[in-house]
Amino acid sequence: MEMFLSIPFLVFLPLAASLLIMSPLFTSNEISIRRFAKGVIGFHFAYMILMLIFYNSANPYESQLHFFGLDWIQSLGIKFKFRLDGIGLILTTLTSFVFLMSSISSKINIRKNHKFYYSMLLFLMFAILGIFTSADMFMFFMFWELELIPAYFLIGGDWGVGYNDNHKKSAVKFVLFTFLGSMFMLLGILLLHYYNYVSNGVLSADFLEIMDNSIPDGIQTLIAVCFLIGFGVKLPIIPLHTWLPDAHTNAPTPISMVLAGILLKTGAYGIFRFNYQIMPESFISIAPPLAVFALINIIYTAFVAYTQTDIKRIVAYSSISNMGLILLGLCAYNQLGLSASVFHMVAHALVTSGLFMICGIVYLRCKTRDINSLGGIASKMPRLFGFSVLIVMASIGVPAFAPFIGEILTMISALFSEISDVLKFVSIFSLPLLIISSCYMLKFLHSGFFGRTNEEFEKINDISVHEFVVLASITAGLVIFGLFPMAILNLIGA
């Protein structure tokens, strides 16, 4: 079976499907387009499950493409090389799952331009998979930049539901922020590539071949800061976060699920691959101040989330808060912290995907996201209310759900960190997050579903079969990984 498991296949399958949909030879029938896209992503998810089953930590998946027998840019040691270790495998499987949920939810959220929409959705999936599987720095950067193209169109496009000029503005803001961060990242990559050659006499951009280098401390710190700015925009780290609430608020529901569930994780993954793995000494030196930024992410945005009246903005700011926890786990710089960080990436992806799905359903039925205009819809939509209770309970860290495991492991890893006492302080001081997050998420639940029913909402329908499948799948994931966390933790440890 292992001979049929190929990284290039899992990366380029969505690209091939995207190009096929966009071709004039492909049908323009929206039902056929939607079913084809869902079929491709569903097959991709099944393929990822097979790769998980046959994964051997002693022999990670690895593949390299040659062009007429040569490397990509052979004279500079740049290769078109893929590698999947345990962490990469977790994140690629998570990507496939979230895109599958997004494609299913697209049936009710996308009303026009289906051919272009599903093509861009598959293209975005291809770019993100390339980020998580790249074994070469320049190849990583190529996929990082390619992701901007479909993301811009998906955020700013008119898909027939609640479109206005703010969508375009949010898309432009996202591209400008990300592109500016990319310039710092490219500078870091060029400096790392050059000084690795100066120090070791080897021209290589392979992650594994530049891990043990002797770059001067000052240059290493400069490179580390460049990477932190580049990845900090996508994570995001305050004050580089202002693009995110607008993008999440104005993007259609399926794209909000992808942005929060997967796109933010590329920033954390970049910090892990470049700062954490390649330059551990500089990362250890900047981990204490970085942990303080993580604390600001956790506390500040939690308060901001509580003041919001748009339910999508509440979820958007809660995402920034939770990404602070993921960053704190990395700053602990121990195996427990790494496990906590990756585990919480999975837990947060499931929670935010579910919450944005709920927001989208409420908006489609009630034509508003203003929390002050909602209320009393629990009796009209009992199935949605049931899933909302479960997902909100998961988001505030109730035991038996996956986020509880991620939060507890993060706090413990910071307390046991040997880098600095700052980590211990941040761990203790961030505990109020559990209370603050409970406040704004319970406000989200109470104001949206309880109280007197607005007359306009008397005839709204409960969730459809497609919506039920998405919410049930996400809830099942939250419960399964909350009760059996070792299914993920064993892969990370390996």
pLDDT band at 159, cuts 50/70/90?
Answer: confident
Provide the pLDDT for residue 225: 92
Element (H, E) at 36: helix 30-53
Enter the tokens of residue 55: 């994964």
Residue that has been written with the tokens 């950067």 in this structure: 141
Torsion of CA 425, 430, 431, 436, to 10 degrees: 160
pLDDT band at 74, cuts 50/70/90?
Answer: confident
For residues 11 and 197, the model is more confident at: 11
Distance CA 271, CA 283 (A): 9
Q: Say if residues 168 and 156 touch (Cβ distance below 8 Å).
A: yes
Provide the pLDDT for residue 378: 82
DSSP annotation of 78: B
DSSP three-state, residue 63: strand
- Res. 19: pLDDT tops 70: yes
DSSP code per residue over 373-387? T----TTT-HHHHHH
Distance CA 269, CA 248 (A): 20
> pLDDT tens digits for 424-446?
888 888 877 667 778 888 888 88
Distance CA 383, CA 344 (A): 27
> pLDDT tens digits for 241-297?
888 888 888 889 999 999 999 999 999 999 999 999 888 888 998 999 999 999 998
In this predicted structure, which of 12-16, 210-214, 273-277, 471-475 has the lowest mean pLDDT?
210-214
- The H-assigned helical ranges of 110-252 are 114-133, 137-146, 148-156, 165-200, 217-234, 243-250
- Res. 468: pLDDT tops 90: yes
Provide the pLDDT for residue 116: 93
Provide the pLDDT for residue 380: 84
Percent of the chain exceeding pLDDT 90 equals 50
Each domain of the chain, given as residue ranges in start order, spans 291-494
- For residue 259, which of 323, 190, 186 has the smallest C-alpha distance? 323
- Cα-based angle 42, 45, 50 (whole degrees, multiple of 5): 130
DSSP annotation of 418: S
- Res. 494: pLDDT tops 60: no
**What is the separation, in whole angstroms, between the first and last Cα of the chain?**
21
- For residue 362, which of 161, 171, 167, 166 has the smallest C-alpha distance? 161
Distance CA 135, CA 8 (A): 12
pLDDT band at 143, cuts 50/70/90?
Answer: very high
In this predicted structure, which of 49-58, 106-115, 210-219, 312-321 has the lowest mean pLDDT?
210-219
Mean per-residue pLDDT, 72-79: 82
pLDDT band at 3, cuts 50/70/90?
Answer: low
Mean per-residue pLDDT, 324-329: 92
Provide the pLDDT for residue 33: 93
- Res. 450: pLDDT tops 90: no
Task: Give this prediction's pTM.
Answer: 0.95
DSSP three-state, residue 15: helix
For the chain, the helix, strand and coil percentages under 3-state DSSP, each to the nearest 5? 75, 5, 20
> pLDDT tens digits for 377-405?
888 888 999 999 999 999 988 898 999 99
Distance CA 411, CA 429 (A): 10
Using only C-alpha atoms, the chain has a radius of gyration, in whole angstroms, of 22
> Residue type for 173, please?
K
Provide the pLDDT for residue 2: 52
Mean per-residue pLDDT of the chain: 89
DSSP annotation of 450: S
